[in-house]
Structure 1
Amino acid sequence: MELKKYKLADIAKIEISGVDKKTIEGETPVRLCNFVDVYYNWAITKDKAKRFMIASAKQSEIDRFSIGKGMVAITKDSETKYDIGVATYIADNFDNVVLGYHCALITPNPTIVDGKYLNAFMHTQYIQKYFENNASGSGQRYTLSNDTISNIQVLLPPMEVQRTIGKLLADLDRKIELNRQINDNLEAMAKQLYDYWFVQFDFPNEEGKPYKSSGGAMVWNEKLKREIPQGWHCGTLLDIAEYTNGLACQKYRPTDNNKLPVIKIKEMHDGLSADTEWVKTDIPDDVKVFDGDVLFSWSASLEVMLWAYGNGGLNQHIFKVTSKNGYPRSFYFYQLIHYVGIFKQMAEARKTTMGHITQDHLKQSTIALPPNVDIANKLEEKLCPIFDEIVKNNQEIMALTKQRDELLPLLMNGQASVNSD
């Protein structure tokens, strides 16, 4: 495949944004596409823009930094040089959406370079190494100068090939994003149903009617400082689940191909990657992780999730949460999420770091428990298929992401091509 070489500045306009997050009287209200929005997304769509923060900008800033379909944005400044130069494609046109500071806006010349292709090119290892090697600063802050960005050597195939490659990778990303949206809706639906039953206490009574709304007896509980259904009592998170801490996995390094990926906080947040470490398969069964297991990072991120990325070995600082006294997964999953949310709010109110949650914290927790697990199991029957679908979609997201990332260098250097099928 014939590739022509261009300097980025010769085929695109480059603008360094300085629009901050402030709202200033007299300026025009705008939505800001910020560093994190660029960093975490292959493409920016109208659905994502609905969640962008509100700020304000001068008209001159709006004229220069408004994002629109076909543009590419990149991160420009960060604490580490590995987080700069991360690109996203602007997939739609927007009203009053402006690129925020610490980012650069690239407007391709559409007669020479396709925006989707340019976005893909900016994700290649070649470009990432270029940014790492040419970033200025050290220790506290790294940045890309206008000259560094302008002098990127862009390799372009014919426009028809650019569009074909760009579309294929963008289509894969759209499917990934669609799965995320489906999961957002499934998670919201499951949480709403759980809240209806066990926060509002409108679980079905003996006649199938909502308990509290139909006049079910409620009594004040002094420990919980609220009314709960008659016959219920105050318990703790340790009454409904077991919390098994992970291993110091460096003691279990594999010596052959019988190995499992190590699940650390990074893997909980981002899934498995090329940087994921490995552990022997003959670790204790109670720290082996399977799809659908509930994991809880009790330090740092304080995150509760359904694992969906294949069998693994659990590292320290993460609890594997399993049933106790017959309580089902959905019940202890949402009770734990609620507790972690309160813990974070208290830390924010004290203006302290969030710290970590210990078994003692869990022992001191207070939750409303039914007289038996029957009502929790009835809701589990409804939520289990939803949880399974969420796990399945996350598995597909990981597979599609892997496919996209593996195809990227092959398509860019001509080792693979896109045929009519």
Structure 2
Amino acid sequence: MKLKLKDIGKITTGKTPSKSVEKAFGNAVNFLTPVDFKGQRYSDVTERSLSVNGIQAVGNKYIVKKPSVSVTCIGSDMGKTLLNRINIVSNQQINSISEIIEEINLKYLYYLLRSRRKHLHFIGSGQGSTMPILNKRDFGNIEFVFPDREKQDDIVQKLDILDKKIEINNQINDNLVV
């Protein structure tokens, strides 16, 4: 089946609280920015978090409900992808897809977007600007062909096993560093 990203789920482009908001940062919800995309699968840890004041300043419509997929959509970081197991708020350089339809496996979508990073960068570079960018509309209009759900689940099962082994090896390597 051929679907546009906007037909798969709810797309949210992030927002940063204004500098005039007092105590916007705290520990109420993770605040995802491009620096948090370091090659890992999950956004469980971010450099900054928003406080209740920060959430109120950007508005509840910018809270991305779990589970979701987030993609950087500007500059050289464009196309980096993360899975969100918890609710997040992101800055405006990130588009997130939540409330994903039943026909799409969330992790399949993650692997698909991650594997198409160069394609996303190419689309964003065609905007006539020196800085590649994918706005919410253009991001939502990107189409992909998806196999049936059973095939997606089968592919995810295999890739998930490999990713878990890589994560374990990375933990072992991190523990070896003195």
TM (norm. structure 1) is 0.37
Q: Does the alignment pair 1:124 with 2:119?
A: no
Q: CA deviation at 1:166?
A: 2.0
Native 8 Å contact 1:74 1:87 kept in 2: yes
Q: Does the alignment pair 1:106 with 2:105?
A: no
Q: Does the alignment pair 1:37 with 2:27?
A: no
- Cα distance change on mapping 1:28 and 1:20 into 2, 3 Å: closer
Native 8 Å contact 1:7 1:153 kept in 2: yes
Distance 2:43 2:12 in 1: 21
- Cα distance change on mapping 1:25 and 1:134 into 2, 3 Å: closer
User: Which of 1 and 2 has greater Rg?
Assistant: 1
Q: CA deviation at 1:42?
A: 4.5
1:187-336 to 2 correspondence within 5 Å?
Answer: 187=177, 191=178
Provide Cα deviations, 1:309-351, integer angstroms capped at 9, x if missing partner: xxxxxxxxxxxxxxxxxxxxxxxxxxxxxxxxxxxxxxxxxxx
Partner of 2:30, secondary structure, is strand
Q: CA deviation at 1:130?
A: 4.7
Counterpart position of 1:151: 141
Any unmatched runs of 5+ in structure 2? none
Counterpart position of 1:12: 9
Partner of 2:112, secondary structure, is helix
Distance 1:23 1:181 in 2: 40
Native 8 Å contact 1:72 1:88 kept in 2: yes
Any unmatched runs of 5+ in structure 1? 192-421
Distance 2:99 2:79 in 1: 16
Q: CA deviation at 1:36?
A: 2.4
Distance 2:65 2:20 in 1: 19
Query: Partner amino acid for 1:41?
Result: G
Counterpart position of 1:186: 176
Native 8 Å contact 2:124 2:132 kept in 1: no
Native 8 Å contact 2:72 2:81 kept in 1: yes
- Cα distance change on mapping 1:106 and 1:86 into 2, 3 Å: same
- Amino-acid identity (%): 26
Native 8 Å contact 1:42 1:89 kept in 2: no
Q: CA deviation at 1:112?
A: 1.9
Native 8 Å contact 2:9 2:97 kept in 1: yes
Note the aligned Cα RMSD (angstroms).
2.7
Counterpart position of 2:62: 64
Distance 1:162 1:116 in 2: 9
Query: Partner amino acid for 2:66?
Result: G
Q: Does the alignment pair 1:84 with 2:86?
A: no
- Cα distance change on mapping 1:177 and 1:118 into 2, 3 Å: same
Number of aligned residues: 172
Counterpart position of 1:167: 157
TM (norm. structure 2) is 0.79
- Cα distance change on mapping 1:74 and 1:130 into 2, 3 Å: closer
Query: Partner amino acid for 2:82?
Result: T
Q: CA deviation at 1:170?
A: 2.7
Native 8 Å contact 1:32 1:98 kept in 2: yes
